Structure 1
Amino acid sequence: MRTVSPVRRLHLAFGLPIALVGLTGVGILLGAVVPDRGGSRLPLVVAGVVAIVVSVAVSVAVMVRTAREVDEVVDRAETLRLACDERDRLDTVARSVGATIRNCADSAAVLDRAVEGLGSGLDASYVMIRLIEGDVAPVVRRWQAEDTPVGPAPGPDLPPVASQKLQELYDAGVSWYVDDFGELLADSVDPSDAQVATDLRDLPSRHLTALGELHAVAVLATPFGVGDTLLGSVTLIRSRTGQVWRSDEIRAAESVAAGLGPVLQLARLREAEERVTEELRSLDRVKEEFLSTVSHELRTPLSSISGYLELLMDEGEGRLSQRQVNMLEAMDRNATRLQSLIGDLLTLSQIESGAFTTTARCPVDLARLLDATITVIRPAADSVPVALEATHPPDPVVVDGDARQLQRALMNLLSNAVKFTPAGGAVGIDVTAENGQAVVNVSDNGIGIPPEEQKSLFTRFFRASNATELEIPGAGLGLSIVRTIVSNHSGDVRIRSQEGKGTSVTLRLPLLEPNRTREPSR
């Protein structure tokens, strides 16, 4: 309903009474003077009447003109207010769509939310997003309003366009639009805001056909990307007669498109990262299965080899010459080394699969466990030869743990120390208790570790460069397994090493609480 300005209401209320008052005054004046028909005052009275009438008419005319001018100002103010409200609404739409797509988890959701937000926010009949695929840009996502001329059935997609056409628009930083196919530019649009299609013949016939099937009236296409890289374009179509694309609407669409590029690129990067991560997990699973299978397959024949070696060395098949004994001892050492490697591979497989746990805990005396471990490792040390020097207090040093795992950690540390210590060297190992912790220290005067490589010592399959140069055998799994075992027992591992002088490895494990009285395990 058209509003009536306060000035116009004042004019309607008081303009007519003022005129009536003026006419009444004229009547009174006439009544006062007309009876004297023979007198000479009539021309003077008539002149007065005319003056009054003219004055009233001029006043009325001024009031009417003033009312019209005020109405025009009010109308312009109302138009400006509505334009400001619409601009605020479009800004809100652009911000809302931008916030929505930024919260999407994947690229598919980004595209879905973008077409929905643009379609409903900009009163479009159709919204289509193209993505660059080589030399063309096909439609990959679309949205359709419920009240389109084609009804609820999905209308046709627009054909792919040449990527070069979109690249030209993107490089120029402009959009392409057309209004009503007859009026190529709406009066309300500033030509500096967008690129105008001045000739519909620029569009291939198949595009015109598709737009005709969609009953297109106004079409807007704006490209988007990241930096200098074009990713695609957004096309908005209106199908209702008389609709045009206003400057504010074009700017809102361009604002959403400008944010769509970085968000889509980020979503794609996340998805690529997830794909790579999943591929790595798949490779890890394959590797774990391979390690487990190979380890088990090697263990069975190795057990047979070790058994027959033991039988031969016991001279169960006849007396042996010294040369034969030496050969069998070498075979036994290598069989033991292979058995240790298989054990490491099995342990690594269990660690990576999550099956390597310390649920079978009991009190373990590390002093007695150390003596048992030295007994096992001494033949290898004597063959180098390397001296083993072990010390521990007379009282038990008891921790709560898995005896097999803890012995495996000690074995790995001692075998490493013996392996990396040249002939004539020494390996020292001592166990102490201090400040509520059991402390195990294994030191050698071997080849040491280069300073720049020490940070990688606990990495699986890592081997120091000097060990590789000296062709010292090993798989690079020992310290990684030691750290896992110690961590499972709530402990800590520290390494100090100096190249050419030796290495010291220190384990710290929490001592068992005093109220635990079960017999400690060896």
Structure 2
Amino acid sequence: MTVQESLQKIRTHWVERISRELASGEGVRAGFVEQLERFYELLEHTVVTGNLAWLDPVLYDWGQSPTETNLEQGDYYVSFVVNRMTTLTIEVARENLNKKDALELIAAVVPIFTHSLSVVVRYEMETRVAHISSELNKTQEKLQQLDHNKSNFISVAAHELKTPLTLIEGYTAMMVDMVEQSGQSPIDGLLKGVNTGIHRLRQIIDDMIDVSLIDNNLLTLNFQPVWVSHLLNLLKNELKKTTTERKQDLIVNQFEGSDLMIYGDSERLYQALYNVASNAIKYTPDKGTITIDGRMLPGFLEVVITDTGIGISPENQATIFEKFGQLGRTDLHSSGKTKFKGGGPGLGLPITRGIIEAHGGTIWVESEGYDEVKLKGSTFHVLLPTRTEATDPLITKFFGHVEQSKPESEKETIGKEAPPTNNPTA
């Protein structure tokens, strides 16, 4: 008996045996029998012709057939069916054929089933990968929408809060003036406390607005001549009171490029450097040291701010530049803005990164790790392009034509004075 004749002889037994074992329920079994009949017919053609491609259409259909439930649960049902069909085919052949015919049939069909299994597994994996990719795309879209909604909320909330805050600030200022004229010192102290709270709230709202501008690519820069030494002097003078209260040393070294004049937004650059320096003060214990240094690089000026603080673990060195990227437990932070590990909304460094990148520069941090005992410290690197003209190609590339703002000789504005004769020293 030929292999083809053997296949024809066991066909009815094969279909009945496999449908009974692998399909549950009469409705399911009816559809499954049709598929088995189709497969068996193509199997016969494959045995006769020796061409494995005969089975590809049905195998492709099976490989693409997993349900949403199968995909979500990670079930590989089709490959299991084909694998089980191989075993049952061997059993049916042994039960319905003599030993010689059974061996010849098994030798002919097992390689075909093996090939079919590999094809089905490949198709099944492709279907699963496509499903996972689709789910990832959906998740990414949801995250993007969530981030967009968050940015919108920050923008709306900040602007809505700014209006009543302005009213409170104005009325409080008038009350302070009235109290000062009447000499009621106890009330004067209370009003000063209210003013301090208002000032802090305004800083938070301004930070929220800045984050919103950066997120929506709406941050505008006013390019003008900026003397780096002037920025560093202002920074040292601004932070002197805080470092004195904390008994910290703030050292501003003279370095190559510290007396350089570059083009940039002086107020925004000062804001960025202030955020980094105040952050260093915040995470450095009392009596610690904060050092500002730098160097010239080809086409760039690097400002380096180093502290002897608690350091940052490697896994968190990127997190701190993300919005609201606070480290540690927020309930253990002190409430003061400049106190050791003082709390905050976590917007300072993200704003700094946005400002520096808007200038065509970059910022990163290096630290050996977090340790409140050994105090390994952190080093922030701020890289700024050394533009010497307002029409610098980099400015034109990123921001189009920028008009140069003329320095105001009589008005003290950051970056608008001639460079001081003496550079900042420790």
TM-score bin, normalised by smaller chain = 0.5 to 0.7
Within the candidate set 478, 481, 486, 2:348 is matched to 478
Change (3 A) 1:492 1:278: closer
User: What does the per-residue CA deviation read over 1:364-400, in whole Å, with 9 as the maximum and x for residues that have no partner?
Assistant: 2222234445565566667767676656689842223
Q: What amino acid is the match of 1:131?
A: P
Matched residue of 1:318: which SS?
helix
Matched residue of 1:476: which SS?
coil
Matched residue of 2:165: which SS?
helix
What's 1:306 paired with? Answer: 169
Within the candidate set 505, 512, 519, 2:387 is matched to 512
The within-5 A match list for 1:462-473 is 462-465=325-328, 469-471=332-334, 472-473=342-343
Change (3 A) 1:193 1:83: closer
What's 1:87 paired with? Answer: 50
Counterpart Cα distance in 2 of 1:470 and 1:515: 43
Change (3 A) 1:493 1:250: closer
User: What does the per-residue CA deviation read over 1:94-116, in whole Å, with 9 as the maximum and x for residues that have no partner?
Assistant: 7xx7xxxxxxxxxxxxxxxx67x
Within the candidate set 271, 275, 285, 2:148 is matched to 285
- Once the two structures are TM-superposed, the CA of residue 262 in structure 1 deviates from its matched residue by 1.0
Structure showing greater radius of gyration is 1
Matched residue of 1:305: which SS?
helix
| 1:491 correspondence with 2:403 | no
Q: Is the 8 A contact 1:367 1:431 kept in 2?
A: no
What's 2:228 paired with? Answer: 366
User: What does the per-residue CA deviation read over 1:247-281, in whole Å, with 9 as the maximum and x for residues that have no partner?
Assistant: 99888766543321111111111111111111111
Tell me how many residue pairs correspond in the alignment.
326
Q: Is the 8 A contact 1:441 1:506 kept in 2?
A: yes
User: What does the per-residue CA deviation read over 1:417-436, in whole Å, with 9 as the maximum and x for residues that have no partner?
Assistant: 44345566665546776766
What's 1:79 paired with? Answer: none
Q: What amino acid is the match of 1:399?
A: I
What's 2:282 paired with? Answer: 419
Within the candidate set 125, 128, 136, 1:273 is matched to 136
Counterpart Cα distance in 2 of 1:366 and 1:341: 27
- Once the two structures are TM-superposed, the CA of residue 86 in structure 1 deviates from its matched residue by 4.3
| 1:131 correspondence with 2:66 | yes
Matched residue of 1:490: which SS?
coil
Q: What amino acid is the match of 1:355?
A: L
The structure richer in helix per residue is 2
Matched residue of 1:465: which SS?
coil
Change (3 A) 1:312 1:133: closer
Matched residue of 2:382: which SS?
strand
Matched residue of 2:311: which SS?
coil
Change (3 A) 1:332 1:190: farther
What's 1:405 paired with? Answer: 268
Q: What amino acid is the match of 1:476?
A: G
User: What does the per-residue CA deviation read over 1:483-518, in whole Å, with 9 as the maximum and x for residues that have no partner?
Assistant: 332233333435455745454434232323379896
Unaligned 5+ runs, structure 2:
1-44, 90-95, 335-341, 393-403, 408-414, 417-426
Counterpart Cα distance in 2 of 1:425 and 1:312: 40
Aligned alpha-carbon RMSD (Å): 4.8
Q: What amino acid is the match of 1:276?
A: T
Unaligned 5+ runs, structure 1:
1-81, 98-113, 120-126, 136-162, 178-183, 195-245
What TM-score does the superposition give when structure 1 sets the normalisation length?
0.49
Counterpart Cα distance in 1 of 2:304 and 2:63: 69
Matched residue of 2:226: which SS?
strand
Q: What amino acid is the match of 2:191?
A: L
What's 2:311 paired with? Answer: 449
What's 1:352 paired with? Answer: 215
- Once the two structures are TM-superposed, the CA of residue 407 in structure 1 deviates from its matched residue by 2.1
Q: Is the 8 A contact 2:179 2:185 kept in 1?
A: no
Change (3 A) 1:339 1:497: farther
Counterpart Cα distance in 1 of 2:386 and 2:249: 29
Q: Is the 8 A contact 1:486 1:509 kept in 2?
A: yes
Q: What amino acid is the match of 1:87?
A: G
Q: Is the 8 A contact 1:363 1:512 kept in 2?
A: no
What TM-score does the superposition give when structure 2 sets the normalisation length?
0.58
Q: Is the 8 A contact 1:391 1:430 kept in 2?
A: yes
What's 2:126 paired with? Answer: 263
Q: Is the 8 A contact 2:263 2:390 kept in 1?
A: no
Change (3 A) 1:475 1:421: same
Counterpart Cα distance in 2 of 1:252 and 1:427: 69
Matched residue of 1:131: which SS?
coil
Within the candidate set 55, 79, 84, 1:172 is matched to 84
- Once the two structures are TM-superposed, the CA of residue 290 in structure 1 deviates from its matched residue by 0.9
Q: Is the 8 A contact 1:333 1:380 kept in 2?
A: no
Counterpart Cα distance in 2 of 1:432 and 1:321: 54
- Once the two structures are TM-superposed, the CA of residue 286 in structure 1 deviates from its matched residue by 1.0
Counterpart Cα distance in 2 of 1:453 and 1:307: 45
Counterpart Cα distance in 2 of 1:320 and 1:383: 29
Counterpart Cα distance in 2 of 1:329 and 1:386: 27
Change (3 A) 1:398 1:260: same
Q: Is the 8 A contact 1:392 1:432 kept in 2?
A: no
Counterpart Cα distance in 2 of 1:426 and 1:83: 81
The structure richer in strand per residue is 1
Change (3 A) 1:282 1:305: same
Q: Is the 8 A contact 1:169 1:175 kept in 2?
A: no
Q: Which structure has the higher relative contact order (CA within 8 Å, separation 6+)?
A: 2
The within-5 A match list for 1:3-82 is none
Q: Is the 8 A contact 1:497 1:503 kept in 2?
A: yes
